[in-house]
A and B are shown apart, each in its own frame.
Chain A
């Protein structure tokens, strides 16, 4: 079953602006990961944050994790038209790290 919920479901911003997406989950986790999916394509791994980490950076990406609130956020700074895609958070649980449960995703549109 899907345990992750993301908001907003859709986000449309101007190029150069920052985009923030949020993810909430229900059970305890080992890691939380963020993936990107271009329309009709597979998923590309963006970043993994462990349960004992609170913040992580990778290029223009910044991920935060609040295990007390069971939530995470993905910030994309200085957005580009090429960032247009769907973004999903995925959590692993007691089943093991490899079995991921995905959020509903946020469809991000960057307008030139």
Chain B
């Protein structure tokens, strides 16, 4: 099956610093990737849709200046949490599909972000 790799799997950073999370599709090209956020024992909340070569589409209530998304190639999307605060601590997960309608999404392993 298709593989999506996310890095790092966990990160601890100080308040006010920025953290970059990478999401790579290893064996297929993904023109679209998705970034989700998950709080403990809760479901996944879609944050934004990452579009290769164009601006990301953010869900309502998600600050685009806070969560910068760059989809510079067909296999890589990055999420940068800028000026992180403790309330940004969460589990961030990316996903990608092969680009054909009505197919399964492949998820990265997730990144546990802790802001201290």
List chain A positions with a Cβ less than 8 A from chain B: 2, 4, 30-31, 33, 35, 40-45, 48, 50, 88, 90, 92, 96-105, 107
A-B contact pairs, 23 of them (CB 8 A): A31-B102, A33-B104, A33-B105, A35-B107, A40-B91, A40-B110, A40-B112, A42-B108, A42-B110, A45-B106, A45-B107, A48-B104, A50-B102, A90-B105, A92-B102, A96-B101, A97-B102, A98-B32, A98-B105, A100-B34, A100-B95, A102-B36, A102-B44
Question: CA–CA, A31 to B104, complex, Å?
Answer: 9
Q: Decide: A105 and B43 in contact? CB cutoff 8 A.
A: yes
Residue of A nearest to B110 (CB): A42
Question: CA–CA, A100 to B102, complex, Å?
Answer: 11
**Set of chain B residues within 8 Å of A101, measured between Cβ atoms:** 46
**Set of chain B residues within 8 Å of A90, measured between Cβ atoms:** 105
Q: Decide: B93 and A45 in contact? CB cutoff 8 A.
A: no
Q: Does B42 contact A (CB under 8 A)?
A: yes
Query: Residue among B44, B95, B106 with the most chain A CB within 10 A?
Result: B44
Q: Decide: A45 and B104 in contact? CB cutoff 8 A.
A: yes
Residue of A nearest to B99 (CB): A98
Q: Decide: A98 and B97 in contact? CB cutoff 8 A.
A: yes
Residue of A nearest to B109 (CB): A42
**Set of chain A residues within 8 Å of B106, measured between Cβ atoms:** 45
| Chain B proximity of A28: nearest CB distance (Å) | 14
Residue of A nearest to B96 (CB): A98
Q: Decide: A97 and B103 in contact? CB cutoff 8 A.
A: yes
**Set of chain A residues within 8 Å of B107, measured between Cβ atoms:** 35, 42-45
In B33-52, the 8 Å CB interface with A consists of 34, 36, 41-46, 49
**Set of chain B residues within 8 Å of A30, measured between Cβ atoms:** 101-102
Question: CA–CA, A104 to B97, complex, Å?
Answer: 22
Q: Does B6 contact A (CB under 8 A)?
A: yes
Question: CA–CA, A25 to B15, complex, Å?
Answer: 38
